[in-house]
Each structure stands twice: as structure tokens, then as C-alpha cells.
Amino acid sequence: MEIKGWFTRKRVIFLSLFFVLVLIAKQINFSSVIGAENQAFTLYQFFGPTAGAFLGPIFGGIAVLFAQLADIIIFDKAFTLLNLLRFLPMVFAVIYFASKKKYVGVIVPLMCMFLFIVHPVGREAWIFSLYWLIPILSSLWPKRLLLLRSLGATFTAHAIGSVIWLYTVPMEAGQWLALIPVVAYERILFGMGIAGSYVVFNTVLDYLVEKFKIDLPFKEVILSKRYNLLRLFN
């Protein structure tokens, strides 16, 4: 298929709406990133991976990639290598959340564990990388449970982000070990947020499609009746 055929008018509209939501969410800080000034996790972490569920891994990845790039350009943020590398965690979280292929959820965390442990500092804090067994186990779980998939997505992002941080930002092993309880708190909240936002988005989009029959990009969006809250009241 030609590239032009991928970007239909409806997909472009949906991606544009997603961009706006991302730009707003990335201005709302949730918690600071340890080891760097003026860096923070934002509201974006609570719903970013859901783009893959609605648009598929390819278009979802494209959506978050360009949305993050737009955030840097529009808000005149520093165009540094580190900021560009920070695009990768969410892109892979989107792919994890959307993909039905188990090997996708296994290979990336395993590679991150290897890269973390072979680093001199990471070797002393190897226990930190055990968090990345979560996306592996979630991917191998017989049933695709939403909360497990959400936790798998956020810990995939965490794995990639941590490896990038390890190789670019000087931190001691003790600092990594001290982050273990903080990571548990943050990632559980992120996982719950991803699952919750997916249910909300799915419910709203499905309602608009079924109720108003409006001609918007939602025809090309992957919806799931299973996660429609309105069915509980029918």
C-alpha cells in the first residue's frame, strides 16, 4: 500500500484530535524525573499507549511520535538527543498495548534487562530490572486482561526509558535502588490510568458511532464492546 493510502482523511482527523489531547496533557505534570532538572512525568503517561488500541500499533506509534515532536516544536523545548530519545518509551508502549503477538512483549523487556545489567552501574542495581519481568509475564498470560496489558505497556516504557537514562544520565547504583518503591507507586497508577482511559475513550467513541452515526474517523478506529461502560446499563 502506498504511504498516501495510509493517511486517509479520517485518520488524519483522528490523529489531529489526539495531538491536541497530547499537547494539553503534556503540560500537566504528575511527578518529577529523578536525575534531571525540568523533566517530569505528565498526564500523558496515563493514556498515551491507548492510541495503539484504537489505531493499531503502526498508526498508534505514528500518532505518539509526531505528537511528542509537535510538543517540542510548539512549546519551544530543547531539541536535545535525550529529549528525542525520550520519544521511544511511549512509542514502544503503544506497540505493546496494541500488538497481539506475544514475542513483541517479550523481546523488548529482555533486551532492556540485558543492556541494564551489562552496564557497570546497572550491574550493581540489577534487581531494579526485575520490574521488566512484568511486561513479559503479562504478554505470556493466557488471557489478554486489560489491566495486565496496561501494566505491561507502562513497564515496557519504563524499561526503555530506564536504559536510555542509564546510558545518558550519571546516576549511582544507590539512586537506582532507592527508586524501586517510587517506581511501584508511579507505574501502578500509570497502569490503572491507561486501563481507565481506554475504557472511557472506548465508551465515548462507541457511543458516538452507534448513537449519532456521525461521519468521523471512528469507522477506522478499533472499538471493543467488551469495554463499553454503557452496556452495564442496558
- H-assigned helices in the chain: 3-6, 9-25, 50-74, 81-85, 87-98, 102-118, 120-124, 133-140, 146-168, 173-178, 180-207
Whether pLDDT at 155 is above 60: yes
Closest CA to 144 of 106, 98, 188, 207: 98
Print the domain residue range for 218.
3-233
What's the CATH number where 23 sits? 1.10.1760.20
Answer yes or no: pTM beyond 0.95: no
Tell me the chain's radius of gyration from C-alpha atoms. 18
Counted domains in the chain: 1
Partners of 112 in the beta sheet? none
Cα distances (angstroms) measured from residue 164 to each of 14, 84, 89, 157? 30, 11, 9, 11
Answer yes or no: are the C-beta atoms of 124 and 78 closer than 8 Å. no
Average pLDDT, the chain: 82
Q: Which amino acid is at 28?
A: I
Answer yes or no: are the C-beta atoms of 23 and 168 closer than 8 Å. no
Instruction: Quote the CA–CA distance of 153 and 191 in Å, as a whole number.
Output: 8
Which is more confident, 88 or 202?
Answer: 88
Instruction: Quote the CA–CA distance of 142 and 122 in Å, as a whole number.
Output: 32
Q: What is the mean pLDDT of residues 86-90?
A: 89
Whether pLDDT at 21 is above 80: yes
**pLDDT tens digits, one per residue of 96-117:** 998 888 888 999 999 999 999 9
Direct distance between the N- and C-terminal alpha carbons of the chain, in angstroms, rounded to an integer: 41
**pLDDT tens digits, one per residue of 127-139:** 999 999 999 999 9
- Residues 6 or more apart in contact with residue 73 via CB below 8 angstroms: none
